Structure 1
Amino acid sequence: MTGEYQSAKPVAAVVGLGSMGMGMAISLLRRGWDIAGCDVSADAVARLAEAGGRPVRTPAEASKGADVVLCVVVNAAQTEAVLFGDGGAFETMAPRSVFVSCATMAPIDAKRLAARLGEKDVFYLDAPISGGAAKAADGNLTVMASGAPPAFERAGALLEAIAGKVYRLGDAVGVGASVKMINQHLAGIHIAAACEAVTLACKLGLDLPTVYEVITASAGNSWMFENRVPHILQGDYTPLSSVEIFVKDLGILQDMARVERYPTPIAAAALQMYLATSGAGMGRDDDASVARTYAALSGAVLPSVTAPNSTKAG
């Protein structure tokens, strides 16, 4: 066991207790792990304590004695702050321990963070995730991971506890980040396309529940159509995945494509719709809110809106 903290159970830190991180922490607790966790939200830390975890104040406290540090934050900047900011995990992580980074970021950022950890002989596992909060709580996420073989070996039991599928994509940090961006490329386009199509159906006066039933049984269906359109039908834009996530991720994708001199016109058009939706005050609402932007542009009247953060549209 690394560090000073002693436990008969496998020990891990979870930094970032949002919907995904909390689900992962609870999944680990259910499988007998000793989990220390921290978050900027005191309420989130209290929920972890209620579930049987050890609440702490900083990433450094969470990482003390942990063989694996699971970081579940939004982006590269937050990951860097978790590691190297005041009270950062780097202060207390022991040599040969593993930092599992789940944030969506550009590959160049993952490589840069891994190089800094390597100065202390700490392994970095580039491990973005997919699946949503429900699968996080069930321990059934998809993990797209790359890193050195010893990182996989030391983090293997943790990955098994949080994931239904772990794709081992190679030894080089950055491959996991790249594959996640391909996923986000498609996901962002599919959500925007679903919103565009359903709002057009509304403008045409079609019965939306019937359209949903037909499309989900037809070739035009996608996972995102099937998952997001019910939010529109219910008029409920409570954020399960916010508009700002795709402002960020499709923005990263555009930067990556520009470096490669690779055209991404469909993703660029989708990004403009997320930007417009965010600019209209719906950035913190569910990403299906793109439908409300289409409604505002077209005069379509969608089912009534119940999201707490936004004014009604359409």
Structure 2
Amino acid sequence: MRVGVIGMGSMGMGAALSLLRAGQDVTGCDMREAARAEFAAAGGRAVASPDALPEGTEALVVLVVNAQQTEAALFGEAGAAPRLAPGAVVLSSATMAPDAARALAAKAEAAGFLWLDAPVSGGAVKAREGAMTVMASGSEAAFAAAQPVLDAIATKVWRLGDQVGIGATVKVVHQLLAGVHIAVAAEAMALGIRAGADPRQLYEVVTSAAGNSWMFENRMARVLEGDDAPRSAVEIFVKDLGLVTDMARSLDFPVPLAAQAQQLFTAARGMGQGGRDDGFVIRVWQTLTGIKLPGEG
């Protein structure tokens, strides 16, 4: 199957490599030369612009940041749409508002393409293992066309219905939990440090007890090492928690915890930490209280 992957960040690179291992004919697309070089070194083809994808591409995975980038990747001046085969399936995997997902699907379907609303989760490690979770909705035809791609990139595919927008809705709710969990993990670690607890012992206790969460275990491990290289950046949760609050506002639904978490990520970005790993939202507390973080000298 001729497959394109637009956006070879931490998740997109994993998806592209997993498709390559599965024997698919994969072309990755990313404006960053380093990403293209990494994929080429693994045996894949890589291009800098969506309009350079191979003609007749049958499936396209779009793993960019948001709806605006997704639309540009497909229908912009240098978009991929003219390179797609008639009836090709697009797997839209950026986190976006449900209304945006529906609008993009309508535009793609009018152009003769199938659309799968297919946000993903799992992190960079799972992506490289071909073990992501996909929260998908779309027509039976879209699921059938996308099956070889889904088989390669995911170990769990949730079929959430035939209406585009349901996948996006579930991902937005998921991001509410993810963002709040990261923020409270950082708050707890910062409080422990300020109170004099050894951060490594605190980590060991929490990860063996009922208060643990996947986000505490994953993100605070990097805080302990002072490793703020972004797997998922602070600014991503400024955006994603904004989607949560926007969706909730449209439903007259209060989300006070999500709103507070968004303010913390916004504060971290305002401090110049937007490009750092999202667990380093802990630097908000560091700035406020003067605590010394592990691994920072």
TM-score (norm 1): 0.92
Structure 2 residue aligned with 1:186:
177
Structure 2 residue aligned with 1:147:
138
Query: Structure 1 residue 118: deviation in Å?
Result: 1.1
Query: Structure 1 residue 14: deviation in Å?
Result: 0.9
Structure 1 residue aligned with 2:191:
200
* CA distance in structure 1 between the partners assigned to 2:46 and 2:285 by the alignment: 43
1:96 to 77, 87, 100: 87
Structure 2 residue aligned with 1:283:
274
Distance 1:56 1:234, change over 3 A: closer
Q: Deviations over 1:104-131 (max 9, x none)?
A: 0000000000000111220111100000
Contact 1:63/1:89 (<8 A) preserved: no
Contact 1:48/1:54 (<8 A) preserved: yes
Contact 2:13/2:128 (<8 A) preserved: yes
Structure 1 residue aligned with 2:124:
133
Query: Structure 1 residue 232: deviation in Å?
Result: 1.5
The answer to whether residue 155 in structure 2 is matched with residue 164 in structure 1 is yes
Structure 2 residue aligned with 1:31:
22
* CA distance in structure 1 between the partners assigned to 2:135 and 2:54 by the alignment: 23
The answer to whether residue 20 in structure 2 is matched with residue 20 in structure 1 is no
Contact 1:99/1:123 (<8 A) preserved: yes
Contact 2:67/2:100 (<8 A) preserved: yes
Contact 1:100/1:127 (<8 A) preserved: yes
Alignment of 1:283-302 (within 5 A): 283-302=274-293
Query: Structure 1 residue 63: deviation in Å?
Result: 5.2
Structure 2 residue aligned with 1:251:
242
Contact 1:237/1:305 (<8 A) preserved: no
Structure 1 residue aligned with 2:216:
225
Structure 1 residue aligned with 2:37:
46
SS of residue matched to 1:68: strand
> 4+ residue runs of structure 1 moved beyond 3 angstroms?
none
Contact 1:136/1:162 (<8 A) preserved: yes
SS of residue matched to 1:48: helix
Contact 1:16/1:73 (<8 A) preserved: yes
* CA distance in structure 2 between the partners assigned to 1:16 and 1:116 by the alignment: 21
Contact 2:57/2:83 (<8 A) preserved: no
Instruction: Compare the two structures and name the one with the higher strand fraction.
Output: 2
Moved more, 272-281 or 232-241: 232-241
* CA distance in structure 2 between the partners assigned to 1:119 and 1:95 by the alignment: 12
Q: Which amino acid aligns with 2:30?
A: D
1:78 to 69, 74, 98: 69
Query: Structure 1 residue 94: deviation in Å?
Result: 2.5
Q: Which amino acid aligns with 2:70?
A: T
Moved more, 105-114 or 84-93: 84-93
Structure 2 residue aligned with 1:274:
265
* CA distance in structure 1 between the partners assigned to 2:93 and 2:51 by the alignment: 18
2:111 to 116, 120, 125: 120
SS of residue matched to 2:73: helix
* CA distance in structure 1 between the partners assigned to 2:54 and 2:108 by the alignment: 14
Q: Which amino acid aligns with 2:248?
A: A
Q: Deviations over 1:228-273 (max 9, x none)?
A: 1111211221111110010000011111110000000011111110
2:231 to 222, 225, 240: 240
Q: Which amino acid aligns with 1:301?
A: K
Stretches of structure 1 that go unaligned for 5 or more consecutive residues are: 1-9, 307-314
* CA distance in structure 2 between the partners assigned to 1:182 and 1:63 by the alignment: 36
SS of residue matched to 1:97: strand
* CA distance in structure 1 between the partners assigned to 2:156 and 2:140 by the alignment: 18
SS of residue matched to 1:158: helix
Structure 2 residue aligned with 1:109:
100
Structure 1 residue aligned with 2:254:
263
* CA distance in structure 2 between the partners assigned to 1:139 and 1:211 by the alignment: 32
* CA distance in structure 2 between the partners assigned to 1:58 and 1:287 by the alignment: 28
Contact 2:63/2:92 (<8 A) preserved: yes
Give the alignment's Cα RMSD to 1 decimal. Answer: 1.2
TM-score (norm 2): 0.97
Q: Deviations over 1:126-148 (max 9, x none)?
A: 10000011111110000000011
Query: Structure 1 residue 292: deviation in Å?
Result: 1.2
